């Protein structure tokens, strides 16, 4: 049976190796952690060293430690598959004989690929850090029954965090940050409604203006948000940022923008939709009477807003226009 063959429910993780599992078989599945001289056979679900043939059956972890001490000349037994940082990241053992993969995470990843579960490895004494190195998910590590959610958080285990089936409250209580939850795939809307996350906190972990709006924050809330670096003075989003989302001049006015502020992003034609009613709001905030006429304001509207007949006539309105005829 192939080492990668699917084993039946309740079957030992080593049954699919039958009675022998040689390095040749493992090499066919890229298990480079074992060299050609590192031979063993499987008996009763455990490993027997074929080099010293001492009759001792060991667990995977036990055989790994035995081989390193007895056949690779290491003075101490590894208890964490790590010794120093490699230039490419991860952990590396500089004393591994030439021709062997020095990255200690390799064994764990390949064992996982061969069907060994997190529960089986945890039962042999592997740490939560080692299970993470093997790319087991949060749910798989929790299902070992040996580690808690806070321990997963402390160890930095985040793989398939969203799919773990834990409540947002449970994840937050365990110590997972909003930034981690965002990276895990939780939406702005979910974090706002379920976790009651604040707008400023969601913005600080990288949610975009579009995501914040889709998350349910109002234009007024987005307008009032300030940059952390601006001593609470500088707006987080400019008028142009908000306009790009499709907010109209009327929306902006309702959110509290002044006509003077709106003039920096909207035309007089846009301003007509605001339905301002006083001359001060229209002219004194930067809109000339000629601009208002070109924007489509009627003479009667402008007269009500406070412009004189003389002013209206000067920009081309007729008496009939002014009287609303």
| pTM score over 0.75 | no
- Any idea where the domains of the chain sit in the sequence? 1-136, 263-325
Report the alpha-carbon distance of residue 283 to residue 293 in Å, rounded: 12
Q: Which residues contact 280 (CB under 8 A, 6 or more apart)?
A: 306
Structure tokens at 285: 């905030």
What single string gives the DSSP state of each residue in 87-115? TTSSEE-TTSPTTS--BTHHHHHHHHHTT
Give residue-wise pLDDT tens across range 202-240.
Answer: 999 999 999 999 999 999 999 999 988 767 678 899 999
Give residue-wise pLDDT tens across range 278-324.
Answer: 666 665 556 677 877 876 778 887 787 778 889 889 989 988 888 87
Report the alpha-carbon distance of residue 8 to residue 279 in Å, rounded: 83
Quote the distance between the C-alpha of residue 251 and its chain's center. Answer: 32
Q: Is the pLDDT of residue 119 over 60?
A: yes
Answer for the pair 16, 1: CB distance below 8 angstroms, yes or no: yes
Q: Which residues contact 133 (CB under 8 A, 6 or more apart)?
A: 81, 91, 104, 105, 108, 109
* Cα dihedral sign, 183-186-188-194: negative
Give residue-wise pLDDT tens across range 130-170.
Answer: 888 889 999 999 999 999 999 999 999 999 999 998 999 99
Most confident of 19-23, 74-78, 228-232, 281-285: 228-232
Answer for the pair 117, 60: CB distance below 8 angstroms, yes or no: no
Ramachandran angles phi, psi of 72, nearest 5°: -120, 0
């Amino acid at each position: 049976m192939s080492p990668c063959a699917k084993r039946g429910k309740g079957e030992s993780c080593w049954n699919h190796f039958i009675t022998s599992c040689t390095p040749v078989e493992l090499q066919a599945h890229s298990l480079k952690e074992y060299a050609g001289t590192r031979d063993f056979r499987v008996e009763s679900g455990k490993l027997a060293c074929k080099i010293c043939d001492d009759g001792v059956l060991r667990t995977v972890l036990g055989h790994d430690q035995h081989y390193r001490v007895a056949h690779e000349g290491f003075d101490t037994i590894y208890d964490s598959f790590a010794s120093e940082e490699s230039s490419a990241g991860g952990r590396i053992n500089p004393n591994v004989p030439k021709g062997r993969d020095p990255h200690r995470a390799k064994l764990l990843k390949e064992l996982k690929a061969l069907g060994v579960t997190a529960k089986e490895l945890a039962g042999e004494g592997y740490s939560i850090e080692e299970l993470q190195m093997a790319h087991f998910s949060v749910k798989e590590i929790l299902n070992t029954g040996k580690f808690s959610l806070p321990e997963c958080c402390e160890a930095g285990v985040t793989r398939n965090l969203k799919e773990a089936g834990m409540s947002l409250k449970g994840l937050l209580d365990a110590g997972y940050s909003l930034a981690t939850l965002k990276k895990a795939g939780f939406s702005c809307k979910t974090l706002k409604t379920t976790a009651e996350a604040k707008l400023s906190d969601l913005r600080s972990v990288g949610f975009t203006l579009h995501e914040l709006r889709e998350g349910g924050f109002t234009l007024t809330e987005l307008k009032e948000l300030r940059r952390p670096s601006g001593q609470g003075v500088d707006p987080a989003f400019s008028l142009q940022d908000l306009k790009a989302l499709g907010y109209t001049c009327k929306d902006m006015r309702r959110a509290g923008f002044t006509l003077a502020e709106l003039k920096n992003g909207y035309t007089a034609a846009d301003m007509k939709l605001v339905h301002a009613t006083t001359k001060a709001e229209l002219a004194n905030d930067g809109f000339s009477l000629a601009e208002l006429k070109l924007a489509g304001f009627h003479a009667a509207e402008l007269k009500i807003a406070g412009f004189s007949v003389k002013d209206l006539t000067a920009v081309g309105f007729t008496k009939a226009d002014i009287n609303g005829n």
